[in-house]
Amino acid sequence: MTFDYIFKNATVIDGTGAPRYRADVGVVAELIAEIGDLSKASAKQVIDASGQVVAPGFIDTHAHDDAAIFDRSEIYPKLAQGVTTIINGNCGCSLAPMALRPGERPPTPLDQLSRDGVHFRTFAEYLDAVSLSRPAINGAFLVGHSTLRFRHMADLERPANESEISAMQLDLHEALDAGALGMSTGVFYGPAQATTTDELIAVGRPLSERGGLIAMHVRNEADQIEPALHEAFAVSSTLHVPLVVSHHKLFGKENHGRSTHTLALLRQQARLSPVCFDCYPYTASSSTLLPSRIKDSSRIQITWSKTHPQHAGRDLKDIAEEMRVDQEEAMRRLAPGGAVYFALSEDDVQRILASPNAMIGSDGVPFQEVPHPRMWGTFPRVLGHYSRDLRLFPLEAALHKMTGLPAERFGLVGRGRVAPGFAADLTVFDAEQIADMATFDAPKQAPKGISHVMVNGCMAVVDGEVVDWHAGQVLRRGQ
């Protein structure tokens, strides 16, 4: 048998959490064809992986690359850190279904998905556009509840009525038919803050009928996190659908240490219904400009500002002093914009990362002048800093959190494992060298230690250089 590629002398970590082993990995077309001793086999290209790990390509379970997937410069940070699949449409925000009038902008945070206002009237139209663009990496997609509200409600400051709920249900049906994995919510943000629990359940009814999941940015991640989690449990349990809690964290000094209790709640609920969560490996979050977060943050760094773009990357405190106003007023003057908020506990971050139900998601936001470093460093940081250096968990467990577990929970059939018959999405790295290089002051830096990234059997990255920008596919639910 002749292979297209053979990775010889590899240390294989297969994504299931099982112990590593030495073997050769043979690829034919888009699939892993054989694993074992292939020393006597021939291949069009043989790659010596001695001293390196061959792992499944990483799955970013929480991305906001809905428009960035069309943009080489914006999707490069994911490829560079070994990500081969992204889950888009999180936090209630998706590019479809949306119908903007000329000159109209959607409300924040929907307006952060795209730099030039690109949007699509139907979910099928959007997925077809992504597919026709031949993206650099694989994309799987959620439809945003906030997007549905914006599409069908003239007044977002109240709960939806019956006719509006019916219209949103129809759009959710269409999105699921087109291949959406499920629906996401962002009741923390303005466009959906008036949403009731009953509205979430009613709009989500098509998920029960079609087998979709729900990913929820819960209503509160600070003092009221427990009732917010119970709301998410109630929605998913009533609908009888799997739940993914988005970027689980505890915000503000007064809430540090509470992850012991929230993780116990999540474990308890997981015994009753399918529940897991994603998280990122940093003690700072990033969001829109939120004056309510000033008092709970030890530092706030501006990531972008529409009115004062020159302040991107600077501390809000310094900007306020220059403006001779307090930080709240400075934030109002900078709006619309975004910021990094230093308000999380390292102990909580480690406890959450180490949970067996934790998946890794970057929550990176593209199109920002000085983004949170998670956009460039999430996955190598987990593998290098937390697994190798701090020994928080074995490398096998770390990789399971970013490959096999998310593939299983999001229903990505044939992905997330190094096994014959699975898609040849592979990341090859040096376990002793892999490290994130992105910092808060200099975030746009590619990691080190990753030698090859393969997407659908095509070599996409070699030593940090992209050699194929069109190896990705749209991954539709059930396919």
What are the pLDDT digits (tens) for 25-69?
A: 999 999 999 999 999 999 999 999 999 999 999 999 999 999 999
Sheet holding 138-144, edge to edge: 58-60, 83-88, 138-144, 182-186, 213-217, 243-245, 275-279, 358-360
Cα separation, 88 vs 285, in Å, equals 18
CA 78 to chain centre: 10
Domain ranges of the chain: 56-283+347-416, 284-343
Q: H or E segment at 292?
A: none
| Beta bridge partner(s), residue 301 | 315, 340
pLDDT for position 117: 84
Residues of the chain with pLDDT under 70: none
56-283+347-416 maps to CATH 3.40.30.10: no
The reported pTM is: 0.97
pLDDT for position 169: 98
pLDDT in tens, 292-316: 999 999 999 999 999 999 999 999 9
- Assigned superfamily of 284-343: D-aminoacylase. Domain 3 (3.30.1490.130)
Cα separation, 432 vs 396, in Å, equals 14
Peptide bond between residue 107 and the one before it cis (omega within 30 degrees of 0) = no
pLDDT for position 101: 83
Rg of the Cα atoms in the chain: 22
Same fold, 56-283+347-416 and 284-343: no
Cα separation, 219 vs 222, in Å, equals 9
